[in-house]
């Protein structure tokens, strides 16, 4: 499989999976209330390749290359190596739910422990600074 075919298949896969279906879950009915989960979806992909040249001493340059080293063309000297790679990842983080009760739609955010600790840290810093400025005023 060549690189163009690979990217074409990858593009088709992303175009089929992308859209609101990635961020919004299927509605669930509980009693009279519909619940729709919402998530933040992020993804990234990358790849690369290159060729590394090999330094050849003058003495080694005049030495013939054995056929087992370069079986395709024993006359051609192998002056480097090729390498490449790629990877990707998808991350989904729940951010809340929508509730639909009759004609009333509400969003209920999900607060993670990290966010809660960050908010508490910011509030603590402001309280400490407020107390310091209050002491200087007396």
* Residue scoring higher pLDDT (46 or 66): 46
Which residues, at least 6 apart from 94, have a Cβ–Cβ distance to it below 8 Å?
37, 38, 39, 110
Domain definitions of the chain by residue range:
3-137
Q: What is the pLDDT of residues 86-130, one digit of tens each?
A: 888 888 888 999 999 999 999 999 888 888 899 999 999 999 998
Q: What is the pLDDT of residues 15-46, one digit of tens each?
A: 666 666 778 888 999 999 999 999 988 878 78
How much is the average pLDDT of 53-82? 58
Whether 94 contacts 37, CB under 8 Å: yes
- Three-state DSSP at 10 gives helix
How much is the average pLDDT of 52-79? 57
């Amino acid at each position: 499989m060549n690189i163009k075919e690979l990217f074409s298949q990858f593009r088709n896969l992303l175009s089929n999976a992308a859209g609101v279906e990635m961020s919004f879950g299927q509605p669930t009915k509980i009693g009279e209330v519909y619940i729709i989960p919402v998530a933040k979806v992020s993804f990234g992909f990358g790849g690369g390749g290159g060729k590394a040249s090999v330094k050849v001493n003058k003495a080694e340059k005049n030495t013939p290359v054995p056929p087992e080293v370069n079986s395709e063309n024993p006359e051609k000297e192998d002056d480097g190596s090729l390498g490449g790679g790629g990877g990707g990842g998808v991350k989904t983080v729940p951010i809340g739910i929508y509730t639909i009760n009759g004609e009333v739609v509400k969003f209920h955010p999900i607060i993670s422990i990290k966010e809660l600790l960050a908010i508490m840290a910011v509030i603590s810093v402001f309280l400490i600074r407020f107390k310091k400025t209050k002491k200087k005023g007396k």
